[in-house]
Chains A and B, each alone.
Chain A
Amino acid sequence: MQIKKFLSWMLALLMVVSLGLSGCKQQASTGEPSGEEVKENGNNRDSGKESEVGMLGNMYKTGLPIVKDKVTLRIAARKRPLHSKEFNDMIVPGKFEEKTNVHIEWDAIPGTAWEQKKNLMFAADDLPDVFFKGLTPSDEINYGGQGMLIALDKLIGEWAPNIKNLLEKRPQVKKMCTTPSGNIYALPHVEEQVFLLNPDNFFINKTWLDKLDLPIPQTTDEFYKVLKAFKQEDPNGNGTDDEIPLSFRFGNKADGIYSLFGSFGLLDNQQHIIVENGKVVFTADKPEHKEALKYFYMLYQEGLIDQEAFTQDSKQYTAKGHNEPMLLGAFITWSHENICGTERAYNNYAFQPPLKGPGGHMMWNKYNAGVGRGGFAITSANEYPEITMRWINEVYLPENSLEWSFGPFGHNLKKNADGTYEYIETPSGKSYGEFRHSETVGSSAPAGLLKETFDRLKPMAAVKAKTERYMVYKPYFPEDIYPLVYYTSEQEQLLSTLRTDIEQYINKMQAKWIIEGGIDKDWDDYIKQLDKMRLKELLKIYQDAFNTFNKE
């Protein structure tokens, strides 16, 4: 009895404690007084020594090194299993320290822990000086608004000509990284490789087509017939009906079927949002959408779609691609090399262009790629914002960006006499991913790589193939797509609930209709249900954010 009493008593006490002590704001901040004081000191010193020409305190206003006495910055960056060394033991960061006289203390956070740890660093006011990639737009809005990230606009103007130049050349990029308050809280990561625009690519088994004497299908109808032939005529010749005419990973951006909806007049994507004539349009309640799902149901019913398309992970998908004998007829993915191995990818598979639907539509999805937001941010804990900005300005210099992203010259890259660059071949026994990350931070570091730079970099075979692919789909891209926008924190909060509910529900229903059919019967209920889930509010948020974006 005593314990029960005690428990209820403790509970009551907790309520009182948490409800009663609301005014104790100071209490939390007394724990950490050092940050502001130190920063002030830093500023004093900076302004006090301005007499020295070309110097701002310890910092040289131009050129290298950046500082006279070594300065240390703490940078939080994603650590991947591909990084076999600590960042400071790598060539690129090492060389950079010598050049700039800025020492980096890396907070190398494992990728899976990133979100949690990042949130905790903000929540517990235990901030690094800099975040490298991986801040979400809502982080920028929330923490920027709260002053935990500092506005970069002025610093860019004064100390970062490379970045300023980049943003001037790409007004759209600048727009995408400017928050509604007009400030930039995080630099974008720019990597303008055209093939990033269409992550989902469609492949078809050319060997089988040839064997069955069929051309690459042009329409949804022909495609159906081809799949049917794949299914019935045992093109892999092992005597059993084990061919998988069409496989994908449902609900996935790169491996999914969102672009195939385009053949019926309306593309789809994970958010089910497109832009038509300057207006946000919801896709998943339109007749075109319904038609597409009926088509997929027909394929599924005839056993042409991989049953496991709705459950498989990328490992199972890859295993099917590598299977001996070949199993996959047509499939959708980012890179067929990953799914079925280089040799098979180039010998046996061909690009499948968008299919012409019954209404004559041909479309393929394009994404906001090549620009990643939240690439680089300076926190309020940073004592040297100017130095930091000069430092990142160096990173965004094209050649330095190449090194930070793809590895040092002389190891991963080569400079040619004519001003072009080349990749050095990956040593055998290593994957390109490992080779790339052996001497540089690579994909965990931001960069400013415009198309102009890539034009001077001779592509690897894989890149060449991807670019060809892009050329196939480019004519069918929609004119407008929903841009990278910012939401206010109120919008964000509502959005996270609505999106979870609605997108999940749509996913579930799409899968059900493809597998079991019954879309006509369910449709009215479905529309009603979406309404109940407050679809209108969701769309209003999307439209409002879109309007805000266009106003700037």
Chain B
Amino acid sequence: MITKSHEDVTFDIINYLILTVFLLAVLYPLYFVAIASFSDPNMVNAGKVWLIPQGITFEGYQRILDDPQIWIGYRNSLFYTVFGTALNVVLTLTAAYALSRKDLDGRNIVMAMLVFTMLFGGGLIPRYLVVKNLKMLDTVWAMLIPNAVGVWNIIICRTFFQSTIPDEMLDAAMMDGCSSSRFFIRIVLPLSSALIAVMILFYGVSHWNAFFDALIFLRNQKLYPLQLILREILIENEVELQMMEDAETVAAQQRIAETIKYGVIMVASIPMLILYPFLQKYFVKGVMIGAIKG
């Protein structure tokens, strides 16, 4: 409609430039991970792999493909991510919607109660005891229930509802005898696709990357998520080296870790890398974070 001003063109050029530089700065290490995943690990650690893979070997990928534990972990992680995220999103949206309603008595107290837990917690032992007493130890529930809702995400959702759902809309619906739940399902949710996309992304990624609860609450290897198995392979255990009898074993472990570590990053990141562009298209409505009170 209007020809671009001189200033705007300059801005565009600079903008493309900055973003491209940033893109390359991020891209290069990723490219490095990719080529390192099929290079000889000793070449990688000697700093010889920069632009093209050296000493090409597919041993790493072969090992990953052959390792049943990695695939079991993969399956488990997908399961935890899908069901965990579903649970998270349902609870977060409903709770945040309720908390966003100005006519809800006591909502500020509830909100304060939630925020307090961002700062103070009882520590590992009582948390473990709770899960134990609920008989959830070593079950899939331990991977889903103890992280059912995140306060941070409730704040995001609540702000979103407060700023995008006009009060008049609610009033009008109430006049027509529409109940809160109906209003939420029929009106609010369809208006919240951007928010839901963000929530799926935030919760999904945190489930996918999580390992600590699995480490604490699970003992059946068949339930281990991918990240726990990967960590186990990748982390050099310095404590163990105190026992010299195990030095040989640790060295053997390290050799395996070196062969597969970059390949494993590739394999483990794929689901989440697919998820993002897919969700991105829903980012059409604003998602904001605002005050916890009001």
Q: Does A pair with B?
A: yes
B245 touches A335 (CB 8 A): no
B221 touches A86 (CB 8 A): yes
Q: Does A461 contact B (CB under 8 A)?
A: no
The residues of B that contact A82 with a CB separation of less than 8 Å are 249, 252-253, 256
Taking a contact as CB atoms closer than 8 A, the residue among B42, B240, B293 that contacts A3 in the complex is: B293
**Cα–Cα, bound, A115→B240 (Å):** 11
B112 touches A7 (CB 8 A): yes
Q: Does A492 contact B (CB under 8 A)?
A: no
B244 touches A199 (CB 8 A): yes
The residues of B that contact A314 with a CB separation of less than 8 Å are 236, 251, 254
Contact with A along B104-136 (1 / 0, CB 8 A): 000011011101100110001100110011000
B125 touches A335 (CB 8 A): no
Interface pick from B9-17, B165-173, B181-189, B225-233:
B225-233
Taking a contact as CB atoms closer than 8 A, the residue among B68, B240, B258 that contacts A315 in the complex is: B258
The residues of B that contact A112 with a CB separation of less than 8 Å are 215, 231-232, 235, 237
**Cα–Cα, bound, A372→B239 (Å):** 13
Within 8 A of B (CB), among A418-476: 431-434, 436-437, 442-443
Within 8 A of B (CB), among A1-38: 2-3, 6-7, 10-11, 14, 31
Interface pick from A217-225, A261-269, A318-326, A493-501:
A318-326
Q: What is the chain A residue whose CB lies nearest that of B235? A: A112
B245 touches A369 (CB 8 A): yes
Contact-size category for B = 35 or more
Within 8 A of B (CB), among A156-209: 189, 191, 193, 196, 199
Contact with B along A112-135 (1 / 0, CB 8 A): 110111001001101000000000
Distance to closest chain A CB from B226 (angstroms): 13
Interface of B is mostly: helix
B251 touches A443 (CB 8 A): no
B252 touches A323 (CB 8 A): no
Q: Which of B67, B69, B215, B244 has the most CB of A within 10 A?
A: B244
Distance to closest chain B CB from A39 (angstroms): 20
Q: Does A291 contact B (CB under 8 A)?
A: no
Q: Does B241 contact A (CB under 8 A)?
A: yes
Given contacts A113-B215, A315-B45, contact A196 B244 (CB under 8 A): yes
B253 touches A335 (CB 8 A): no
Taking a contact as CB atoms closer than 8 A, the residue among B112, B240, B251 that contacts A111 in the complex is: B240
Q: Does B255 contact A (CB under 8 A)?
A: yes
Taking a contact as CB atoms closer than 8 A, the residue among A7, A116, A316 that contacts B215 in the complex is: A116
Q: Does B243 contact A (CB under 8 A)?
A: yes
Distance to closest chain A CB from B191 (angstroms): 28
**Cα–Cα, bound, A79→B237 (Å):** 13
Taking a contact as CB atoms closer than 8 A, the residue among A319, A335, A436 that contacts B251 in the complex is: A335
**Cα–Cα, bound, A191→B243 (Å):** 11
Q: Does A288 contact B (CB under 8 A)?
A: no
Q: Does B36 contact A (CB under 8 A)?
A: no
Q: What is the chain A residue whose CB lies nearest that of B129? A: A124
The residues of A that contact B129 with a CB separation of less than 8 Å are 31, 124
Q: Tally A residues with Cβ within 8 Å of B.
A: 60
Q: What is the chain A residue whose CB lies nearest that of B62? A: A429
The residues of A that contact B216 with a CB separation of less than 8 Å are 113, 116-117, 120
A6 touches B116 (CB 8 A): yes
Given contacts A81-B233, A111-B237, A316-B45, contact A3 B244 (CB under 8 A): no
A2 touches B112 (CB 8 A): yes
**Cα–Cα, bound, A301→B247 (Å):** 32
B254 touches A108 (CB 8 A): no
Taking a contact as CB atoms closer than 8 A, the residue among A86, A318, A432 that contacts B42 in the complex is: A318
Taking a contact as CB atoms closer than 8 A, the residue among A2, A7, A31, A372 that contacts B243 in the complex is: A372
Q: Does B285 contact A (CB under 8 A)?
A: no
Given contacts A124-B125, A318-B42, contact A107 B232 (CB under 8 A): no
Question: Could you write out 24 A-B pairs with CB less than 8 Å apart?
Answer: A3-B111, A6-B112, A11-B120, A14-B120, A31-B129, A79-B221, A86-B221, A113-B215, A113-B228, A120-B128, A120-B216, A123-B125, A123-B128, A126-B137, A193-B245, A254-B241, A314-B251, A318-B45, A318-B254, A319-B42, A334-B251, A372-B243, A432-B252, A434-B252
Q: 9 closest Cβ contacts across the A-B interface?
A: A433-B252, A319-B45, A319-B46, A322-B42, A3-B112, A6-B112, A113-B215, A110-B232, A338-B251
- Hey, which bits of chain A sit against chain B, CB under 8 A? 2-3, 6-7, 10-11, 14, 31, 79-82, 84, 86, 107-113, 115-117, 120, 123-124, 126, 189, 191, 193, 196, 199, 252-254, 313-316, 318-320, 322-323, 334-335, 338, 367, 369-370, 372, 431-434, 436-437, 442-443
- Hey, which bits of chain B sit against chain A, CB under 8 A? 41-46, 67-69, 108-109, 111-113, 115-116, 119-120, 124-125, 128-129, 132-133, 137, 215-216, 219, 221, 228, 231-233, 235-237, 239-249, 251-258, 292-293
Sample of 16 further A-B pairs with CB below 8 A, known A3-B292, A109-B219? A2-B112, A3-B108, A3-B112, A6-B113, A10-B116, A79-B221, A82-B253, A113-B216, A113-B232, A199-B247, A254-B244, A315-B254, A315-B258, A318-B258, A320-B46, A442-B249
